[in-house]
């Protein structure tokens, strides 16, 4: 299992975003343990931040991977919808 951010919570109202700015494939190998723990934002080659809205533009269209799924292509606009679902759980 991978974590997007070590302090992320499903109900914190934030999008946790990271972009890998690696230049060589072998850097990805070194990043794997950090990606699994959600601590990749500590690397200089990783841009990581939390927000409530994100507009993503790129020079050329790129695939968008969200939670391991390809969900579309750039450009894209992401926002948080507060209280979009209601969860029922045992006490």
Q: What is the pLDDT of residue 61?
A: 95
pLDDT digits 0-9 by tens, 30-88: 767 766 666 666 667 777 788 999 999 999 999 988 777 899 999 999 998 888 888 88
pLDDT in tens, 8-38: 777 888 888 877 776 777 777 776 776 666 6
Beta-carbon contacts of residue 37 (< 8 Å; ≥ 6 apart): 3, 6
pTM higher than 0.95, yes or no? no
| pLDDT given for residue 88 in this prediction | 87
Confidence of residue 2 (pLDDT cuts 50, 70, 90): low
Query: Quick count: other Cβ atoms within 10 Å of Cβ 79?
Result: 11
Say how many C-beta atoms besides its own lie within 10 A of residue 5's C-beta.
Answer: 20
Domain ranges of the chain: 17-79
| CA–centroid distance for 4 within its chain | 5
Burial 8-18 (b: 16+ CB within 10 A, else e): eeeeeeebbbb
- Peptide bond preceding 75 in cis form (omega within 30 of 0): yes
Unique residue bearing structure tokens 């799924």: 69
């Amino acid at each position: 299992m991978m974590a997007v951010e070590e302090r992320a919570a499903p109900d914190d109202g934030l999008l946790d975003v990271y972009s890998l700015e690696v230049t060589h494939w072998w850097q990805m190998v070194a990043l794997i343990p950090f990606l699994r723990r959600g601590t990749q934002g500590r690397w200089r080659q990783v841009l990581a931040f939390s927000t409530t809205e994100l507009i993503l533009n790129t020079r050329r269209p790129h695939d968008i991977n969200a939670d391991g799924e390809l969900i579309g292509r750039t450009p894209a606009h992401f926002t948080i919808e507060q209280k979009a679902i209601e969860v029922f759980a045992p006490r």
